[in-house]
Amino acid sequence: MSTYQNKLVAFIDILGFSNLVKESETNDSKAQMLLSSLKDIESFIKREEELYQFSEDVGNNTVSKLKVNYTQFSDSIILSTDIVVPEIDGLKFHNINNIMNMCSLLSYLQARFLNEGVLL
């Protein structure tokens, strides 16, 4: 039986995705824009994952705990990260670094798509 974990999750929907796909059938520039945006997100995600892996390899647990997991399918992008609540002398301290990191990634994705005229 699997156990549940507390996570911070963002569900992002690419608005008008099906229309973009339909338009890309007859409009090469739309097809290029769509493909370019999705490949850019893929390479951004890969760079982030390499940073987290490197941090773990060198023993930097501070950065590796900020890891954001990505899933992309159809017109949706799912981001999730652990909610880190360290305990010091029996007191719990909420760590907002993961929330700030998630907001930063969301901002990047919104800016990237908005630059192409696509809303998330």
Tokens representing residue 28 in the block: 């090469």
Distance separating alpha carbons of residues 19 and 57, to the nearest angstrom: 43
Reply yes or no on whether the pLDDT at 110 is more than 70: yes
Helix (H) or strand (E) holding 68: strand 68-73
Average pLDDT of the chain is: 80
Domains identified in the chain, total number: 1
Quick check: is 38 in a domain? yes
Question: Does 2 fall in a domain?
Answer: no
The two structure tokens encoding residue 12? 């992002």
In this structure, the strands spanning 91-92 and 68-73 are unpaired
Residue 66 within a domain: yes
Residue 119 included in any domain? no
Q: 81 in a domain, yes or no? A: yes
In sequence order, the β-bridge partners of residue 11 are 78
Highest averaged pLDDT of the listed ranges 20-29, 56-65, 66-75, 82-91: 20-29
* Domain span including residue 57: 7-114
| CA pair distance 106, 112, nearest whole angstrom | 10
**Residue of higher predicted confidence among 1 and 102:** 102
